[in-house]
Copies of this chain bind each other. A is one copy, B any other.
Amino acid sequence: MKSDISYLYKPYLHTRELMPENQETPIHFLNERTTPIEYIYKRNHFLYPALDSAAFFLPVVGEVERPMVFPYNYIKSLPSKTIKMVLECAGNKRAYFDPKTYGEQWKDGAISQVAWKGVSLKDLLYFTGIRSTAIEVAFEGYDYGTRKDIDRVFPYARSLPLEKALHPDTIIAYELNSQPIPYDHGYPLRLVVPQWYGMASVKWLKEIRVIDHKFTGPFQAIDYVYYPNKEDDFGKKPVTEIKVNSIIQQPMNYSVLDTGSHSINGIAWSGHGTIKEVELSFDQGLTWKNVELYQDKNQQHLWTFWKYAWTVEEKGEHTIMCRAKDSYGNIQPLEAEWNRKGYGYNAVYIIKVKIE
């Protein structure tokens, strides 16, 4: 009757907020090693910026020997590097904190796996040279706007310590999944910082400034900070690397299954090191079973797919817990470290299913 049924059985981004646009990857329904562009999550702090030709000229200034402006085409002509990596928002899974925290109520989908092509930032800084006074590199995007807490206009801007800025995998990207970076993901140039949460990967790059002091813009000094207490800022520390984490993709939480054999599958990831083990528990954490991992040769920045064949005959409610361990021995805790702005949730992943 209807020949084009390609629109059926198709997942969509899950809308959290529209202006600015914040939408989740439908992570429970994707099995691709690289997240298709239409399914890459969007996390914006402001409305999309209007760009003009200036966006094709990237200034590198500040504590450098020779300030320079790098044309887009020149950057594309330099030796390139392709980085396949997990991109995860620091607020991913915020909705699970208890007590709840304010902000976008991300569940599991503020995460995607993407391939960036670009040039190592250290190669650009080789041209400009770095003064010995330099301690950080600051990045400003073209996006800007007002904040709720300070009555002033700010651009989205962040910095990296020199060491991370000079890491060969920290790149100025111009391609995403083998095409020019789409406008909504940072066209034409985006800073890409593997291993760190996504806030570090500044979109619509406007300027790179090497600085001799600690950067204190609000997206570094106010947001993207772990505040362990509700009422004061005591014990705060910056949000940086992606924590060891995992999800069960299928079955879905509170789904109904029949008796027999079911495949339990998901992903696990860590900013620091690779995943060494994923375990499931069917008895509230008393005992844990190892699951099969599916990894690439070049696994360093990628998530690990995992799968487990579960046979169940007992009808009723079942709890399934999942935790990952990385090569540095980091393991998901039973309870996430609560923090006021709701970053870095990585507690053991728990679902309930009912067998009928």
Contact = CB atoms under 8 A, between A and B. Distances in A.
A149 B356 contact: yes
A1 B103 contact: no
Nearest to A183: B2
Interface stretch (A252-260, A266-274, A278-286): A252-260
A31 to B, nearest CB: 11
A153 interface: no
Contacts of A23: 12
A9 interface: yes
A8 B21 contact: yes
Given A1-B183, A102-B255, A12 B9 contact: no
Contacts of A352: 100, 102
Interface in A223-276: 252-258
Interface in A36-66: 48, 51-52, 55
Contacts of A12: 12-15, 23
A8 B48 contact: yes
A51 B356 CA distance: 30
Contacts of A28: 15
Contacts of A51: 1
A101 interface: yes
B48 A5 contact: yes
A82 interface: no
A102 B256 contact: yes
Kindly state the interface size class of chain A when it binds its partner.
35 or more
Contacts of A149: 258, 356
Contacts of A7: 184
A80 interface: no
Contacts of A258: 148-149
Contact of A256 (B13, B29, B103, B252): B103
Q: Which of A11, A28, A258 counts the most B-chain CB atoms under 10 A from its CB? A: A11
Given A15-B14, A148-B257, A184 B8 contact: yes
Given A17-B252, A105-B254, A149-B258, 19 more contacts: A1-B51, A5-B183, A8-B48, A9-B19, A11-B15, A11-B18, A12-B12, A14-B14, A14-B15, A15-B26, A16-B252, A18-B29, A102-B254, A102-B255, A102-B256, A102-B353, A102-B354, A148-B257, A148-B258
